[in-house]
Structure 1
Amino acid sequence: MKVQQEIKRGAIIVFITKYSGILLGLVINSMLARLLSPAEFGIVGVVTVFITFFSILSDIGLGSAIIQKQDFTGKDFSDIFKVSILLSVVLATGFALLSYPIAAFYDNPVYIKISRLLAIQVFFSALCIVPKNMLIKAQAFKTIGLIDVTSTFLTGCLGVALAYHDFSFFSIVWRSIAFSILVFSLYFVNSGLKIHSGISFSGIRGIAKYSSYQFAFNCINYFSRNLDNILVGKFIGNAGLGLYNQAYQLMMYPVSNLTHVITPVIHPILAKYQHNKAVIFQEYIKIVKILAILGLPVSVFIYFSSPELIQLFLGEKWLGVVPILRILSISIWIQMLMSSSGAIFQAAGRTDLLFTTGLICSTVTVLSILCGVLYFKSLEMTAILLVAAFYVNFSVVFYMLINKVLQQRVYELYALLARRIPSLVVLIIAYLLEANIAASWTSGPSIVIISLGIKLCIMGLVTAAFNFPLIEPYVKKLSHLKSKS
C-alpha cells in the first residue's frame, strides 16, 4: 500500500506539471507551424536526430545508474559531474565537427551553421545529466516539473518571436539553445550538487556494469527510433520529413505524456524493491491496467480525429499529415505500454536483459524502416511497416520482462488486455455513427472545434461507463459534498 501511495503522490505532481507543459508545447508548436513551412521544420528535424544521439552519448547510462544506486555520497556525485563536464566538451566539439559530414550527406551547406550553433545545446544538455537525476532520485518531481514548464514557456515565447521576425528555422535553433542553458542552470541550483576537491573514479566503477548495458540499450534504441527520420530526410526530402515528423510528434504526445506521468516515478520508488520481483510485478500490473484503460481509447480517438487535430494545431497546409497520423495512431496504446517497461527492467537491476530485448526489437524496427523508405519510398508504407514492427516488439518485450525478469506469467497481461475489447468495440461503433452524422455538416473553424469536442465527449463517456468501479469513489465523494452543501 505504501508503494502505491508513493507512486500515486508522485504521479499526481508529474501529471499537473507535465500537462501544463503539454498545453504550452501544443500552443507554441501550433504558432510555429503557422509561421514556418514543412520544409523549414524538416531542416531542423534532420539535425535534431543527431542531437538525440549525442544526448545518449552524454548520458552513457549514468542517469538511471544514479537513481538505482542507493549508497552514493556527495563526493560520488561531484566526481561524476566532473566527468560529465569533460564529456560535454568532447561531445560539443564532436558535434560541431560533424556539421561537415551532415552537410555533405544531405547536400546542403546550411547544416554547417545549424550544427555549430546546436553544439551549444549539446554541451549544456550533457551537463544536465547529474543534477537532473539527483532531483529524480530525491523524488523532487514538483521541482523538475516547474523547471520544465517555466523553461518551455520562456523559450517558446523566444522561438515564436524570432519566427515572427523572419528568422526562419533559426528560430527553432535559438529556442533549443536557450532551453538547454536555462534548464541546466535551474537543475544545478535546485539539485544541491556540491563540487568537492579532487576526483575519484570509484563511484563510476561501482555502476559501470549497470550503466554500460543501459548505455548500449539507449544507443540501439536511438537508431531504431530515428533511422526513419534520417532516411526520410535523405530519400524523400525535407518537406516529406516535415510532414512525417509532425505526424510522429503528434502520435508521441499521448505516448510520452501519458506514460511519463507514471514512468519517472516508477524507477526511483521500485528500485528499493529490486530484490523482491513479486512486489515489482504486483505494482507494475496495476500500472499497465491504467495505461491500457487510457491508451486504447486514445488510439481510437486520434485515428478518427486526425483531420480536426491537424486543422486545429497545425493549419490547412499540413493536411498531408492526416493519413500518416492515422496509421501511426494504431500503435499508440502499444507504445504506451512498452515505454513503461524500461523503468521495470531498470528497477529490477536487469539492464543486461533490457539490452538484449532492445537489440531484438531494434532489428525488427530497422528492417521495417529500410523496407518502407528504400523499397516502397512512401511515407504511408513506412508508417504501416513501423506499426507492424511495434506489434511484434510488444510480444518480445513483455515476454522478456514478465517471464524472464520478473518470473511471472505473461498470460495475466494478455487477460488484462482482453477485458478491454468490449469498450473498444463500442467506442469504434460510436465514432462511425458520429462520422456518418457529421458528413452532412459544413466546414469551418467552429465546426472543427465542435466535432473534436463531440469526439472527446464520446471517448470520455464510453471509457467512464466501462471503468465505473475506478471512478465510483470520486463520484460518491462528489455526491457527499453536494449533499452537505
Structure 2
Amino acid sequence: MSNSIRPASFWSFINSFATRGLSFAFFIPLTRKLGPAPLGVMAMAIAVGVFLDAVIDLGLSDQFVRHQDAKDQKFFSTVFWAQVIAAGVLGLAIALLAPLAAHAMHEPGLVLALRAVALASFVTAIGLSPVSWLRRGLEYRAIAIRNVSATFLGGVVGIYLAWNGFGLLAVLSLHVINAITGTIVAVLSAGWRPSLVFSLSSLKQVGGIAANTFFTRVLEAGVSRLDQIAVGAFFGASALGMYSLAVRLYDILFQLLCMPVASVMLPYLSVYQSKTAELRRRFLDVVQVVSLSAPPIFMLAALHASWLIGTVFGPQWLGAGPYLRIVLGMGVVQAFTFTHTVIFAASGKTSVNLGVALLSTVLWAVFLPLLPTYGVIFAAVLWAMRAAIGVPIQMFFLKNVLDMQLREYVRSLTPMFIALAGMAVVSFFIFIVGERAKINPFAVHIVSVLAGGGVFITIAVGLSSKVKDIWMGIFDTLKGQAS
C-alpha cells in the first residue's frame, strides 16, 4: 500500500479499534445488567433503523466521495438536502406507525424504541455529507475523534441509566446521544457547509451508479436484519436477545477489523478505475494483507465461542454459543471477501453488488417460512448461507472487471490458507492435551489463543512481504505521530 494512504489507514484503524473497543466495553455491563429481553426489543428497533439508514443514504455518500470536482458545491449540497429530506419524511412515517408495529410484535416497548431510532437516523442524516467530505479528503483523524467522542458519551449515559433502573430507556438513550454527538463533531470537523441549492440535474449525473448502490444496500440491510425481526416475531424478545448477541459480536469484529480497510479502499482504488492493470495489482495486494489480518481472529473467536460468552457475558447468555459459532465461522470468509464489493463500487460496477443482494433476498424468501419449524439455529444457518452464496458470483465478475486470472487471486490467498491450517492444528492439539491432562479450562483457552495466534503470525510474516511492509508502515506512522 502506498505511503500516501498510510496515515489514512492508520487513523481508520485507530478509529475502528477505539470506537468498537469502547462500544464493546459498554456493551458488556449492559448485557449483564439488562439481560436478553430489553436487548431483544432494541434489536428489533435497530433492525428497522439499519434499513432506514440504508434508504436515507440514497446511495449518494459513495458518490460524494468519488466526485472528481471538489468545487462542485451544487452537487454536494444537493446530496446533503436529498438525504436530510428523505430522513425527515421516513422518520416521521416510522414514528406514526410505531404503535401498529408494537401491537403486531406484542412488544409495547417497541413504540418508544422505534421512535428513538427514527430520531437518531434523522440526526445521523445531517452528518452524512460532512463525514463524506472528510472521507474524500482522507481526513480519518477527524473521523476517529468524531466516532470515539460519540461512542464514549453515549456509553456513559447508557451505563448510568442502566444502573439506575431505566432498563430499555438506557440503551435507547445510548443510541440517540451517540447519533447527536457524532453529527455535531462531524459538522464542526469538516468545515463544509451546504448551500441553499437543490439540483436534480446534478443527481442525474450519478443516478445509475447511485441507484445500484441504493438498492444493493437497502436489500442487504433488509435481508441482514430480517432474521432478527423474524426471530423476534416467532420466538419472542428473549430468544432474539440471545441471537442478536451473536450477530452483534460478529458485527463488532467485522466493523473493527474490516470496515477501516473498506473505507480507505474506496477512495484509494477509485483513482485507478480507468487503469485495469494497476487496479488489479493494488486490489490483490490489499486482499492479501486483509486475508492475513482479520480471518484468524474470526477463527479463534469461533473456536472459543462458548468460553467467550460464558466468561465475558455470564452464564445467562450461554444459549447464544451455537449461533455465535456459525456466524463467526462464516465470518472467516467474509473477513476478506468484503473487498469484492468495494472493488465493484470503486470501478463503477455497482450492478454486481445489486445482483448478489437480489439473490440473497430470493434465498431468504424461499427458506424463511421454515424458521418456525427448525428454530432459531436455522436463522443462523440462513445467515451464513446468505453470505456464502454471493462469493462464487463475485469471483466470476472479478475476473472480467479486473481482467484477472483465478490463479492470481488464489495465489494472493495462499499464505492465509497455510497460516489458518497451522493455527487450527495447534489449537486443536492444545484442546486435546488439555482435556486429557485435565488442565484448568481457562488456562487451556488462553494457551490455545496465544499459541494459535503466534503460529499464524509467524507463518504470515514468513510468507508475505506485504505484511512486513504494512507493519513497517504502521511503525513509521507511529513515529511520525509521536514527533
* TM > 0.5: yes
1:457 CA displacement: 1.3
* CA drift at 1:4: 2.5
Q: 1:426 aligns with which of 422, 425, 446?
A: 422
Amino acid in structure 2 at the alignment position of 1:362: T
Paired residue for 2:381? 384
- Tell me the number of residue pairs that the alignment of Structure 1 and Structure 2 aligns: 468
Paired residues of 2:295 and 2:336 also in contact (CA < 8 A): no
Listed as ranges, the matches of 1:15-414 within 5 Å are: 15-72=13-70, 73-368=72-367, 370=368, 373-376=371-374, 378-400=375-397, 402-414=398-410
Q: Note the C-alpha offset of 1:281.
A: 1.6
| 8 Å contact kept, 1:54–1:91 | yes
Q: Taking structure 1 as reference, are residues 108 and 249 closer, same or farther at Cα in structure 2, changes over 3 Å only?
A: closer
| Contact 2:26-2:155 at 8 Å conserved across structures | yes
Q: Which residue of 2 aligns with 1:481?
A: none
What does the per-residue CA deviation read over 1:336-370, in whole Å, with 9 as the maximum and x for residues that have no partner?
123222221111011122212322233335545x1
> 1:212–1:472: structure 2 CA closer, same or farther, 3 Å change rule?
closer
What letter is aligned with 1:49?
Answer: A
> Once the two structures are superposed, what CA deviation does each residue of 1:51-104 show, in whole Å capped at 9, x if it has no partner?
111101110101011111111523332233233332222122012022033113
In structure 2, relative to structure 1, the CA distance for the partners of 1:398 and 1:255 (3 Å cut) is: farther
**Displacement after TM superposition at 1:179 (Å):** 0.9
Change (3 A) 1:399 1:101: farther
Amino acid at match of 1:467: A
Inter-CA distance 198–382: structure 2 relative to 1 (3 Å threshold) = closer
Contact 1:303–1:326 at 8 Å: present in 2 too? yes
What does the per-residue CA deviation read over 1:14-66, in whole Å, with 9 as the maximum and x for residues that have no partner?
11221112221111011101111101110110011001111011101010111
Identify which range, 89-98 or 101-110, moves more after superposition. 101-110
Contact 1:224 1:366 in 2 (8 A): no
Note closer, same or farther for the CA distance 1:87–1:388 as it changes in structure 2 (3 Å cut). closer
The answer as to whether partners of 2:74 and 2:197 remain within 8 angstroms in 1 is no
Structure 1 residues 35, 203: CA separation in 2 closer, same or farther (over 3 Å shift)? same
Larger displacement relative to structure 2 (61-70 or 357-366):
357-366
Q: 1:313 to 1:367 in 2, by over 3 A?
A: farther
Shift of 1:137: 0.8
3-state secondary structure, aligned to 1:330: helix
Paired with 1:410 and 1:269, the residues of 2 have a C-alpha distance of: 23
Q: Is the 8 A contact 1:59 1:215 kept in 2?
A: yes
CA deviation vs aligned residue, 1:97-121 (integer Å, no higher than 9, x gap): 2203311320233222322233211
**Secondary structure of 1:61's aligned partner:** coil
Determine if contact 2:287/2:413 at 8 Å carries over to the other structure: no
Whether the aligned pair in 2 keeps the contact of 1:305 and 1:455 (CA below 8 Å) is no
Partner Cα separation in structure 1 for residue 310 and residue 123 of structure 2 = 35
CA gap of 1:366–1:133, structure 2 versus 1, over 3 A, is: farther
Provide the rounded CA distance (Å) in 2 between the counterparts of 1:330 and 1:199.
46
Offset at residue 371 of structure 1 (A): 5.6
The whole-number CA distance in structure 2 between the counterparts of 1:104 and 1:97 is 13
Name the SS for the 1:262 alignment partner. helix
- Structure 1 residue 5: deviation in Å? 2.3
Secondary structure of the corresponding residue to residue 127 of structure 1: helix
Q: Runs of 5+ in structure 1 lacking a partner?
A: 479-485
Q: Specify whether residues 468 and 272 from structure 1 end up closer, same or farther in structure 2 by C-alpha distance, changes over 3 A only.
A: closer
Instruction: Give the unaligned 5+ runs of structure 2.
Output: 476-483
Q: 2:42·2:168 contact (CA, 8 Å) conserved in 1?
A: yes
Aligned to 2:431: 435
* C-alpha displacement of 1:431: 1.4
Partners of 1:419 and 1:57 in 2: CA distance: 39
Residues 295 and 332 in structure 1, CA contact (< 8 A), matched pair in contact too: no
Deviations 1:231-265 (A, max 9, x none): 10111211111111101111223222211121100
Whole-angstrom distance in 2 between the partners of 1:316 and 1:337: 32
Quick one: which amino acid aligns to residue 117 of structure 1? Answer: A
CA distance in 2, matches of 1:243, 1:131: 36
Deviation of the 1:451 alpha carbon: 4.4
* 1:204–1:375 distance in 2 versus 1, CA, 3 Å: same
CA distance in 2, matches of 1:198, 1:417: 48
**Change over 3 Å in CA distance of 1:390–1:367 after alignment to 2:** farther
Name the CA shift for 1:331/1:176 in 2 (closer, same or farther; >3 Å). same
User: CA–CA distance in 2 between the matches of 1:319 and 1:383?
Assistant: 16
Give the Cα separation in 2 of the matches to 1:198 and 1:7: 33
Q: Deviations over 1:159-215 (max 9, x none)?
A: 000000111011011111111111111111111222334443332222222211110
Structure-2 residue corresponding to 1:6? 4
Scaled by the length of structure 2, what TM-score is found? 0.90
Task: Please list the CA deviations of residues 355-407 of structure 1 after superposition, one character each: whole Å capped at 9, or x if unmatched.
Answer: 12322233335545x1652441x22233234323433322122222x123223
Provide the C-alpha distance between the structure 1 equivalents of 2:365 and 2:278, rounded to a whole number of angstroms: 35
- Report the Cα distance in structure 2 between the residues aligned to 1:393 and 1:200, rounded to whole angstroms: 36
Specify whether residues 417 and 201 from structure 1 end up closer, same or farther in structure 2 by C-alpha distance, changes over 3 A only.
Answer: same
Q: 8 Å contact 1:364–1:393 — kept in the other structure?
A: no
Map of 1:482 onto structure 2: none
Give the whole-Å Cα distance in 1 for the aligned partners of 2:143 and 2:438: 45
Alignment CA distance shift 1:467-1:338 (3 Å): closer
Say which of 446, 455, 471 aligns to 2:448.
Answer: 455
Q: Partner amino acid for 2:17?
A: Y
